[in-house]
Amino acid sequence: MTACGVKVVNMNKNWNDQMNNMSLNGIRAAFLSLGCKVNSYETEAMKELFRKAGAVLTGFGEPADVYVINTCTVTNIADRKSRQMLHRARHLNPEAVIVAAGCYVQSAGSALLEDRSVDLLVGNNQKKEIVKLVYAYLKDRSFVNEPAKIGAESEYEELAIDSMEEKVRASIKIQDGCNQFCSYCIIPYARGRIRSREEEAVVQEV
C-alpha cells in the first residue's frame, strides 16, 4: 500500500500477457521533456511507442487525454520546474491522465502520488513499458505503478527512435547511469549504475 492507501501493482509476466492486446487508438497524448539530451531522446522514443499504439500526438499546450512529463531532478530548480509542469498539465485538462516520468520520479518516489496533479509514475528503466502502464491506468484508475529501484538495475533499457521532431541533428543513446557518486551529483541515484547498450542495437538504429 502507498501513503495514498491504494494498492501498488508490480508488472510480471502474467500482467504483461494480459496487456498484449492493448490499444490507445484515438487517445490524444502530449509530451514535455525537461532537462538533458538523454531525456529528449527518451521522450522521442516514448512518443514513438504511443504513436505505434494508435495514439494521436498533440502539442503540450493543446488539449490532450494523456500528458507525459519527462522530469528532471539535477537541481532544486529542476525539481520545482518538474512540479510546475505537472500542475500546468492538470490545469490544461483536469480530466486528463497526468504521467510523471523520469529522474524526479526516482528521487521523489511514491510521495509524488500525494500531489493531486499526478496520476501515474513511470521511473527510469520503465519507459519502454509506458504504453502498458498508461493502458492499465485507463482501464483501472486505482492502478499504481511502483518506480523501479534503479540502483539494483543491471540491464540497459532498450529504447530506440526512427526520427526526432524539431531537431536538425539526431541523437543516439548508448549508455545510462554513472558509477562515480560525486558528492554534488544525484545522477547515480536517479539513473543508477552504468549500463551500456549492445553494439548491435546501436548499429541497427544508426
Predicted confidence (pLDDT) per residue in 156-202, tens digit? 889 988 876 666 577 888 899 999 999 999 999 999 999 998 888 88
Predicted confidence (pLDDT) per residue in 87-127, tens digit? 999 999 999 999 999 999 999 987 888 898 999 999 999 99
pLDDT for the residue 6: 34
Q: Domains plus CATH for the chain?
A: 1-11+23-206 (3.40.50.12160)
pLDDT for the residue 205: 83
The Cα-based distances of 114 to 3, 9, 17, 101, 109 in angstroms read 7, 17, 30, 15, 10
pTM of the model: 0.86
Confidence of residue 5 (pLDDT cuts 50, 70, 90): very low
Identify the helix (H) or strand (E) that includes residue 195.
strand 195-196
Show the CA angle centred on residue 80, arms to residues 64 and 132, nearest 5°. 40
